[in-house]
């Protein structure tokens, strides 16, 4: 390390405690970063595709997660390496943006890094490699646009949407009932979708799970389910044509925010205070009753006395309902959330056709169903399954399926799955490479090779000969000029993905390529890693 | 260049074969652990807690055993979870589900060793599970229409469930208890309204079902010990000093005289409250919270029986049986619904005095009093009875019934075997394995009973080759017998749950090819 000296021959301290910090520079830094990125992607590689395997993760508290979802695996993996963390971020941003393809994006990035390493060894400057990748990613994205198909669906014809969701679900453990789950997801999305604006607010779809029962019992409920029961055991368990008061204030004497003290020093004061207290409760309940509410849903708790008064006045109530659920109830029932009793008016009440309490199994578990709401724009997917891990995994899978359906409503272009899109892109990029003068050409070719790695992994996971299968499919694509040929993972006997009905969304694929390229570019540009020593 | 550290320090990672081995071994170890408790001749386990007192539990209940284990193996945790869910959902079959899942994995391990891909095994298992389920569905019996027969079905189920437990000696007695209790619920699955009171002393045979309601409390001093035609007010209110609930209020006085005044006011307030309560025209008052001496004295003066500190469940049940509402304010006596019962009296069970409410209005709730030689016996008896009650209440809702004694497994295995023969491809190996795993359950039952399992299973198979055979293992005589005649039945719902959750769990574990264990969270060790 070159050191600068001052006039007395003492070295300038540039990095504090220089000796105790480990530092990697130049090619070494790039190589070690690449190795880390590749290691992460290798973990996910086996999870890709319909025959991909799951990972079992044990959290620091000993809880078990079994999942196939790339983003979840990486998030819970306890990665310590900085580059590893970048890959985690990459998968997460794909999850936020698209919701699906979180495994694919990491595998893609890993493949790009592997290719980049080879180029670096040949002495090509990292920036040139990065630029080459950038150019090719643009070619690939444009090419995807060309091979994409528009497909038509409407509120009545949801079959194409269901097919696409089934592709997403087929790689998960729930693929046993992918058909019914895909239908649930699509119907749920269609219920809340704004087809005019082509937008879907996924917050309106609540995914609730309860252990027990079987996966086939999973259902879509046009309404809300709250994991709560009535505050008083003797309140009615079923209310028809409910008018719901949605409150965020507790049934308790008010607690002013400013500090104050009420001093009791005489008997009279003691008694007035008591009277006052009683009046508070009475007023609160009376006010709810006056506006015509037949059900009170409250974010906070009730005092015993208030509880009894509610029961007494025949006003069922639910307490300790979470903020998010409260909002959903408000949306579904068309009511307004009321922060103070004084502001309660009949117009602000929500309406629901049926509110009922349902008991499960042999324990005390009860849930509250709010159905036939005034505004059916909020739905709940209610998942049942054999054990906790299964429910959690199903939740994640449903989330993915919901995201896919949403993306299709936003943009109805699709490309073909099963690696067909990647192979087609790879051919296009390869062909384009020769047109570029200069070193970038090599990078572009490398990019084309990296694109092959996704179908390669798919074939590998499905127990096929990876190299043979991919090259055969590639040849077929070129010969027939048909971008729908992919890997036949399910042994269906054909590799035309159009026949197998394996679709993926265009934006999902484009996003995968763009995000992976970006991260790789970032990693390639790092030439100095300074890490603090062990402490 | 190798990556030095991808994970945090203590995180570990196991891949491919090793990961699969780790999960197979863990799951099988758990299954073997509870295996010996299966069946009517299954053995019990002693569990000693690590908590204070090292309390001891003796049990035969799979879910209870597994719940108390400290397990580090992730796959084993999956099995424990399914057992727990089985307990919550149907109440019985907690051991069978774990044993079946364990056997499925054991078979899967053999297949993996012969280089069959886990995904192929899974798809085979799925086909087999579907086939097994439809085979069961074909053979179910439903006697919902015929009340008499349905009751005898329930009796049979209860006896079958109880026969593997500590209560097996008096299973007829307890089965009657359980069926009576569940029939009173009239189709609701709310087991809370069946109260189980455990009192040491006497023998298990002395246990009885009481139609009324028994509260494990004493009657206050100087209050009537016996009330006929009682009007009961069930309340949840503070009967100590009432606090002022307005925030920020506090008492501040400057002389002793004023303290006395306020105290007087407080007393006055309490007196008023008691007066209001008495104003309801009651002669029994049950409160969830404490009743202080002062109000108690007032109640005694008015000739009212006051019971304090009944726990929450007790209050709810009491409200349920007597038909009263749980009150917290007492300003409108005319509209509060009071509970009624014909007679309240103090009774003695063993050494303890209890309060007995008889002739209650609503017949839904009831109390089962368990007697037994020691607390451990009582605890186990309670768990067994709970299992039986759960199964019965589920059967009342879903009245489909199957025969027991390994019969359902044989029926399923036969159907699955046939499927295996029809299926081309590698999957058929997995389907075959599924049927072997199913056979493991009757095998275990026979083994646990000390019988020659190989011989018996072979006989059973031959027997089942005929159409509509009712053959199963008769553990008592140690031979193959007609389950229909022996009256051994099981609920369809339980068997279905066992089959489906075991397959689901096995599938889940099979799909795993990598285990990543995070560094354990550091806790502040207080030891």
Question: Structure tokens of A13?
Answer: 């301290």
Looking at A46-50, A487-491, B453-457, which range is the least confident one?
A: A487-491
User: Nearest by CB to B82, which of A61, A214, A386?
Assistant: A386
The answer on pLDDT for B234 being more than 90 is no
Question: Structure tokens of B135?
Answer: 């085979």
Separation between Cα atoms, residue B459 and residue B185, nearest integer Å: 42
Q: Quick one: CA torsion of A370, A371, A373, A377, rounded to 10 degrees?
A: 100
Q: What is the DSSP string of B446-482?
A: HHHTT--HHHHHHHHHHHHHSTT--EEEETTTTEEEE
Separation between Cα atoms, residue A320 and residue A298, nearest integer Å: 6
Question: Structure tokens of B504?
Answer: 């689901």
Query: Quick one: residue A491, left, alpha or beta (phi over 0 = left, psi -120 to 50 = alpha)?
Result: left
A400 is catalytic: yes
Predicted local distance difference test score (pLDDT) of residue B2: 47
Separation between Cα atoms, residue B112 and residue B96, nearest integer Å: 24
Instruction: Measure CA B17 to chain center.
Output: 38
Q: What angle do CA A97, A102, A105 make, to 5 degrees?
A: 100
Distances from the Cα of B219 to the Cαs of A78, A106, B304, B353, B368, in angstroms? 60, 71, 11, 9, 21
Please, are residues B91 and A360 in contact by the beta-carbon 8 Å criterion? no
Separation between Cα atoms, residue A461 and residue A51, nearest integer Å: 6
Residue of A56, A66, A260 to mutate for B, most B C-beta atoms under 10 A = A56
Task: Write phi, then psi, for A384 (nearest 5 degrees).
Answer: -120, 155
Predicted local distance difference test score (pLDDT) of residue B242: 59
Residue found under tokens 């006055």? B268
Separation between Cα atoms, residue A340 and residue A338, nearest integer Å: 6
The mean predicted confidence, pLDDT, of chain A is: 83
Separation between Cα atoms, residue A489 and residue A419, nearest integer Å: 10
If DSSP states are collapsed to H, E and C, what string results for A223-260?
EEEECCCECCCCCCCEEEEEEEEEECCCECCCCCCCCC
Q: Quick one: CA torsion of B373, B377, B383, B386, rounded to 10 degrees?
A: -20
pLDDT digits (tens, 9 = 90+) for A37-96: 888 888 888 888 788 888 888 888 778 888 888 888 888 887 878 888 888 889 889 888
Please, are residues A395 and A185 in contact by the beta-carbon 8 Å criterion? no
The answer on pLDDT for B91 being more than 90 is no
Contact state of B77 with A64 under an 8 Å Cβ cutoff:
yes
The answer on pLDDT for A535 being more than 70 is no
pLDDT band at A428 (very low <50, low <70, confident <90, very high): very high
Chain A residues in contact with B325 by the CB 8 A cut-off are: 234, 311-312
Nearest to A277 by CA among B476, B329, B491: B329
Distances from the Cα of B120 to the Cαs of B117, B123, B127, in angstroms? 5, 5, 11
The answer on pLDDT for A376 being more than 50 is yes
The answer on pLDDT for A195 being more than 90 is no
Question: Structure tokens of A162?
Answer: 């269901």
Separation between Cα atoms, residue A370 and residue A466, nearest integer Å: 51
DSSP bridge partners of A501: none
Separation between Cα atoms, residue B370 and residue B368, nearest integer Å: 6
Question: Structure tokens of A5?
Answer: 């000296």
Nearest to B132 by CA among B434, B403, B426, B405: B434
Separation between Cα atoms, residue A95 and residue A93, nearest integer Å: 5
Please, are residues A484 and A504 in contact by the beta-carbon 8 Å criterion? no
Looking at A388-402, B209-223, B410-424, B488-502, which range is the least confident one?
A: B209-223
pLDDT digits (tens, 9 = 90+) for B15-60: 778 888 888 888 888 888 888 888 788 888 888 877 767 788 888 8
Chain B residues in contact with A266 by the CB 8 A cut-off are: 258, 261
CA distance B303 to chain A (A): 26
pLDDT band at B131 (very low <50, low <70, confident <90, very high): very high
Q: Quick one: CA torsion of A41, A42, A43, A49, rounded to 10 degrees?
A: 80
Q: What percent of chain B has pLDDT over 70?
A: 91
Q: Which A residues 432-491 touch B at CB under 8 Å?
A: 463
The answer on pLDDT for B527 being more than 50 is no
Nearest to A113 by CA among A133, A128, A93: A133
Residue found under tokens 């005898």? B152
Separation between Cα atoms, residue B45 and residue A346, nearest integer Å: 61
Instruction: Measure CA A217 to chain center.
Output: 23
Q: How many CB atoms lie within 10 A of CB A281?
A: 23
Separation between Cα atoms, residue B38 and residue B453, nearest integer Å: 14
Contact state of B508 with A390 under an 8 Å Cβ cutoff:
yes
Q: Where are the beta strands (DSSP E) in B33-159?
A: 45-48, 56-59, 141-142
Question: Structure tokens of A493?
Answer: 């006997």
The mean predicted confidence, pLDDT, of chain B is: 82
Separation between Cα atoms, residue B306 and residue B299, nearest integer Å: 7
Q: What is the DSSP string of B340-363?
A: EEEEEEEEEETTEEEEEEEEES--
Chain B residues in contact with A54 by the CB 8 A cut-off are: 508, 511-513
Predicted local distance difference test score (pLDDT) of residue A246: 86
Separation between Cα atoms, residue B444 and residue A355, nearest integer Å: 48
Chain B residues in contact with A212 by the CB 8 A cut-off are: 85, 88-89
Q: Mean pLDDT throughout B255-283?
A: 80
Predicted local distance difference test score (pLDDT) of residue B243: 61
Q: What angle do CA A472, A473, A477 make, to 5 degrees?
A: 120
Chain A residue with the nearest C-alpha to that of B332? A312
Contact state of B515 with A255 under an 8 Å Cβ cutoff:
no
Please, are residues A14 and A527 in contact by the beta-carbon 8 Å criterion? no
Relative to beta strand B339-349, strand B12-15 is unpaired
Separation between Cα atoms, residue A361 and residue A358, nearest integer Å: 10
CA distance B251 to chain A (A): 5
Helix (H, G, I), strand (E, B) or coil at B401: strand
Considering the entire predicted model, what is its pTM? Answer: 0.82
Distances from the Cα of B365 to the Cαs of A31, A165, A525, B435, in angstroms? 73, 49, 74, 44
pLDDT digits (tens, 9 = 90+) for A253-279: 766 667 777 777 777 777 787 778 778
The answer on pLDDT for B524 being more than 60 is no
Task: Write phi, then psi, for A340 (nearest 5 degrees).
Answer: -140, 150
pLDDT band at A18 (very low <50, low <70, confident <90, very high): low
**Host H or E run for residue A160:** helix A159-169
Count chain A–chain B contacts defined by CB atoms under 8 A.
243
Helix (H, G, I), strand (E, B) or coil at A337: strand
User: Nearest by CB to B247, which of A78, A176, A253?
Assistant: A253
Chain B residues in contact with A36 by the CB 8 A cut-off are: 3, 6
Give residues with Cβ within 8 angstroms of B339, minimum separation 6. B231, B232, B233, B234, B318, B319, B321, B322, B323, B324, B360, B361
Separation between Cα atoms, residue B488 and residue B407, nearest integer Å: 10
pLDDT band at A98 (very low <50, low <70, confident <90, very high): confident
DSSP H helices in A334-484: 388-410, 420-433, 440-461, 466-480
pLDDT digits (tens, 9 = 90+) for A196-251: 777 788 888 888 888 777 778 888 888 888 888 887 777 788 888 888 888 888 77
B296 versus B246: which is more confidently predicted? B296
DSSP bridge partners of A367: A358
Q: What percent of chain A has pLDDT over 90?
A: 12
The answer on pLDDT for B80 being more than 90 is no
pLDDT digits (tens, 9 = 90+) for A432-486: 988 888 888 899 999 999 999 888 988 888 878 889 988 988 898 888 888 888 8
Please, are residues A391 and A382 in contact by the beta-carbon 8 Å criterion? no
Predicted local distance difference test score (pLDDT) of residue A96: 87
- Name the residues of B annotated as catalytic: 61, 94-95, 387
Looking at A282-286, B244-248, B255-259, which range is the least confident one?
A: B244-248
Q: Mean pLDDT throughout A147-166?
A: 81
Burial zone of A393 (CB within 10 Å; 0-12 exposed, 13-18 middle, 19+ buried): buried
Contact state of B236 with A308 under an 8 Å Cβ cutoff:
yes
Predicted local distance difference test score (pLDDT) of residue B1: 42
pLDDT band at B291 (very low <50, low <70, confident <90, very high): confident
Helix (H, G, I), strand (E, B) or coil at B91: coil
Contact state of B515 with A55 under an 8 Å Cβ cutoff:
yes
Predicted local distance difference test score (pLDDT) of residue B522: 67
Chain A residue with the nearest C-alpha to that of B77? A64
Nearest to A445 by CA among A145, A132, A141, A134: A132
Task: Write phi, then psi, for A471 (nearest 5 degrees).
Answer: -70, -35
Looking at A10-24, A380-394, B200-214, which range is the least confident one?
A: A10-24
Query: Which of A286-290, A466-470, B215-219, B220-224 ranks highest by mean pLDDT?
Result: A466-470
pLDDT digits (tens, 9 = 90+) for B363-385: 666 788 888 888 888 888 888 88
Separation between Cα atoms, residue B194 and residue B186, nearest integer Å: 12
CA distance A514 to chain B (A): 25
């Amino acid at each position: 390390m070159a050191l600068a000296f001052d006039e007395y021959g003492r070295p300038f301290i540039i990095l504090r405690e220089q000796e105790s910090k480990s530092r990697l520079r130049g090619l070494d830094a790039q190589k070690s970063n690449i190795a880390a990125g590749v290691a992460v992607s290798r973990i996910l590689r086996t999870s890709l595709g319909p025959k991909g395997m799951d990972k079992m993760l044990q959290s620091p508290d000993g809880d078990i997660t079994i999942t196939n979802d790339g983003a979840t695996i990486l998030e819970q993996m306890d990665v310590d390496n900085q580059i590893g963390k970048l890959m985690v971020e990459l998968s997460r941003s794909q999850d936020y943006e698209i919701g699906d393809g979180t495994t694919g994006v990491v595998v893609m990035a890993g493949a790009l890094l592997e290719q980049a390493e080879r180029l670096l060894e040949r002495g090509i400057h990292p920036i040139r490699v990065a630029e080459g990748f950038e150019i090719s990613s643009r070619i690939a994205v444009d090419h995807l646009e060309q091979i994409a198909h528009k497909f038509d669906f409407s509120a009545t014809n949801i079959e194409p949407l269901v097919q696409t969701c089934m592709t997403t679900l087929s790689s998960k453990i729930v693929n046993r009932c992918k058909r019914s789950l895909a239908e649930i997801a699509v119907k749920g999305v269609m219920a809340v979708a704004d087809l005019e604006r082509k937008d879907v607010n996924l917050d309106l779809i609540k995914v609730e799970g309860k252990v027990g029962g079987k996966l086939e019992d999973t259902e879509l409920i046009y309404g809300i389910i709250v994991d709560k029961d009535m505050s008083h055991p003797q309140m009615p368990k079923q209310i028809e044509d409910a008018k719901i008061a949605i409150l965020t204030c507790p049934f308790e004497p008010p607690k002013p925010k400013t500090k104050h003290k009420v001093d009791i020093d005489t008997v009279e004061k003691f008694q007035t205070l008591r009277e006052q207290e009683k009046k508070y409760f009475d007023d609160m309940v009376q006010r709810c009753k006056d506006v015509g509410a037949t059900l009170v849903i409250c974010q906070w708790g009730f005092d015993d006395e208030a509880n009894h008064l509610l029961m007494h006045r025949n006003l069922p109530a639910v307490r300790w309902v979470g903020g998010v659920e409260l909002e959903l109830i408000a949306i579904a029932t068309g009511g307004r959330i009321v922060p103070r009793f004084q502001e309660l008016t009949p117009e602000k009440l929500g309406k629901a056709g049926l509110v009922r309490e349902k008991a499960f199994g042999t324990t005390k578990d009860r849930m509250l169903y709010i159905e036939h709401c005034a505004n059916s724009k909020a739905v709940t997917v209610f998942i049942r399954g054999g054990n906790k891990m299964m429910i959690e995994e199903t939740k994640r899978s449903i989330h993915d399926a919901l995201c896919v359906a949403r993306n299709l409503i936003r943009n109805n272009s699709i490309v073909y799955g099963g690696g067909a899109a990647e192979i087609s892109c790879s051919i296009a990029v390869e062909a384009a490479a020769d047109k570029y003068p200069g070193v970038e050409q090599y990078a572009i070719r490398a990019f084309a090779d990296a694109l092959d790695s996704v179908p390669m992994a798919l074939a590998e996971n499905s127990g096929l000969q990876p190299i043979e299968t991919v090259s055969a499919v590639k040849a077929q694509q070129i010969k027939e000029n048909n971008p729908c040929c992919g890997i036949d993972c399910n042994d269906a006997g054909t590799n035309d993905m159009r026949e197998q009905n394996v679709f993926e969304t265009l934006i999902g694929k484009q996003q995968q390529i763009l995000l992976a390229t970006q991260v790789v570019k970032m990693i390639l540009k790092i030439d100095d890693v300074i890490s603090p020593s062990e402490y | 260049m190798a990556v030095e550290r991808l994970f945090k320090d203590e995180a570990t990672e196991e891949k491919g074969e090793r990961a699969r081995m780790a999960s197979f071994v863990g799951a099988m170890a758990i299954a073997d652990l509870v295996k010996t408790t299966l069946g009517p001749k299954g053995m019990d386990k002693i569990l000693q807690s690590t908590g204070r007192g090292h309390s001891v539990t003796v049990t035969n209940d799979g879910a209870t055993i597994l719940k108390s284990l400290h397990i580090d193996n992730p796959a084993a945790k999956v099995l424990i979870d399914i057992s727990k869910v089985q307990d919550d959902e149907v109440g019985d079959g907690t051991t069978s589900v774990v044993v079946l899942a364990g056997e499925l994995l054991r078979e899967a391990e053999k297949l993996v060793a012969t280089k069959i891909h886990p995904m192929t095994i899974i798809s085979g298992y799925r086909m087999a599970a579907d086939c097994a389920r439809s085979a069961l569905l074909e053979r179910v019996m439903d006697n919902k229409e015929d009340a008499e027969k349905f009751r005898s079905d329930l009796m049979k189920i209860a006896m079958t469930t109880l026969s593997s437990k500590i209560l097996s000696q008096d299973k007829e007695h307890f089965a009657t208890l359980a069926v009576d209790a569940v029939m009173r619920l009239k189709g609701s699955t709310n087991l809370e309204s069946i109260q189980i009171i455990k009192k040491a002393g006497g023998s298990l045979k002395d246990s009885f079902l009481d139609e009324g309601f028994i509260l494990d409390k004493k009657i206050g001093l100087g209050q009537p010990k016996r009330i006929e035609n009682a009007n009961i007010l069930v309340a949840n209110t503070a009967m100590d000093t009432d606090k002022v609930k307005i925030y920020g209020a506090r008492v501040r006085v400057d002389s002793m005289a004023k303290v006395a005044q306020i105290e007087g006011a407080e007393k006055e307030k309490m007196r008023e409250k008691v007066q209001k309560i008495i104003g309801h025209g009651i002669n029994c008052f049950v409160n969830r919270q404490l009743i202080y001496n002062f109000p108690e004295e007032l109640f005694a003066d008015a000739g009212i029986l006051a019971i304090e500190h009944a726990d929450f469940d007790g209050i709810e049940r009491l409200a349920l049986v007597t038909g009263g509402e749980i009150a917290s304010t007492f300003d409108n006596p005319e509209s509060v619904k009071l509970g009624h019962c014909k007679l309240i009296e103090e009774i003695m069970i063993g050494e303890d005095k209890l309060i007995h409410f008889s002739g209650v209005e609503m017949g839904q709730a009831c109390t089962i009093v368990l007697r037994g030689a020691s607390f451990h016996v009582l605890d186990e008896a309670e768990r067994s009875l709970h299992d039986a009650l759960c199964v019965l209440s589920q059967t009342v809702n879903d009245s489909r019934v199957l025969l027991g004694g390994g019969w359902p497994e044989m029926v399923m295995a036969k159907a699955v075997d046939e499927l295996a023969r029809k299926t081309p491809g590698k999957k058929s190996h997995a389907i075959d394995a599924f049927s072997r795993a199913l056979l493991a359950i009757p095998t275990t039952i026979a083994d646990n009973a000390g019988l020659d399992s190989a011989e018996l299973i072979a006989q059973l198979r031959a027997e089942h080759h005929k159409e509509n055979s009712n053959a199963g293992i008769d553990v008592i005589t140690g031979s193959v017998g007609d389950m229909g005649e022996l009256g051994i039945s099981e609920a369809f719902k339980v068997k279905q749950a066992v089959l489906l959750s075991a397959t689901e769990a096995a599938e889940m574990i099979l799909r795993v090819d990598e285990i990543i264990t995070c560094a354990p969270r550091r806790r502040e060790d207080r030891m």
